[in-house]
Amino acid sequence: MQTTFTPSSTTIMAGFHALSDPLRFQVVELLRSQELCVCELCEKLQVSQSKLSFHLKTLKEAALVRPRQDGRWIYYSLNLPQFVALEQYLTEYRRLAVMLPAHPCSDDTPSL
Residues of the chain above pLDDT 90, percent:
70
Residue 104 has pLDDT above 90, yes or no: no
Render pLDDT for 32-76 as a digit per residue (tens, 0 to 9): 999 999 999 999 999 999 999 999 999 999 999 999 999 999 999
Residue 92 has pLDDT above 50, yes or no: yes
Question: Hey, how many other C-beta atoms are within 10 angstroms of the C-beta on 19?
Answer: 17
The dihedral formed by the CA atoms of 91, 7, 26 and 60, expressed in degrees to the nearest 10: -170
Mind listing the domains of the chain with CATH numbers?
A: 9-90 (1.10.10.10)
